[in-house]
């Protein structure tokens, strides 16, 4: 059975999709950009701050669904410039301080919605 996950603590979908869908103990989180759910805007200006906001948004969705970062098995990272990889990676490491790192891929893309510098998709499993 599919369950739609929706929380006001993460940005509302800006198109015809759900924040996340849970199916058979697996949570699929749509790509999160650094929109601050309190303002509905991208407040952060640099890649580190934007990545921090993305992870806050992911955490809000994980929490709503009853998951934590320790349940995450895969991230897909989209960057508007591959030179942002190092700064994004530093924030990423701070999220996973326990030393457990999910599988990950990262890509440079031409553009992202709302002028974001980073977008991250997430899969978590219980």
pLDDT of the chain, 126 residues: tens digit per residue:
899 999 999 999 888 999 999 999 999 999 999 999 999 999 999 999 999 999 999 999 999 999 999 999 999 999 999 999 999 999 999 999 888 899 999 999 999 999 999 999 999 999
* Diameter of the chain measured on Cα atoms: 41
pLDDT at residue 14, rounded to an integer: 84
118 with 76: CB under 8 angstroms?
no
DSSP output for 35-71: -BTTTTB----SHHHHHHHHHHHHHHHHHHHT--GGG
pTM of the model: 0.97
Q: Is 16 helix (H, G, I), strand (E, B) or coil?
A: coil
Domains and CATH numbers, the chain: 2-125 (3.30.1330.40)
CA 5 to chain centre: 14
Q: How far apart are the first and last CA of the chain?
A: 15
């Amino acid at each position: 059975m599919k369950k739609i996950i929706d929380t006001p603590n993460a940005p509302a979908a800006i198109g015809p999709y759900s924040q996340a869908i849970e199916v058979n103990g697996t949570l699929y989180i749509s790509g999160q950009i650094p929109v601050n759910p309190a303002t509905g805007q991208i407040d952060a200006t640099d890649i580190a701050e934007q990545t921090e906001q993305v992870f806050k948004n992911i955490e809000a969705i994980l929490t709503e669904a009853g998951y934590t970062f320790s349940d995450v098995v895969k991230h897909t990272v989209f960057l508007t410039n591959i030179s942002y990889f190092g700064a994004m990676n530093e924030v990423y490491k701070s999220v996973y301080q326990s030393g457990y790192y999910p599988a990950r891929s990262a890509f440079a893309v031409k553009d992202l919605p709302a002028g974001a510098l980073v977008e991250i998709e997430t899969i978590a499993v219980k």
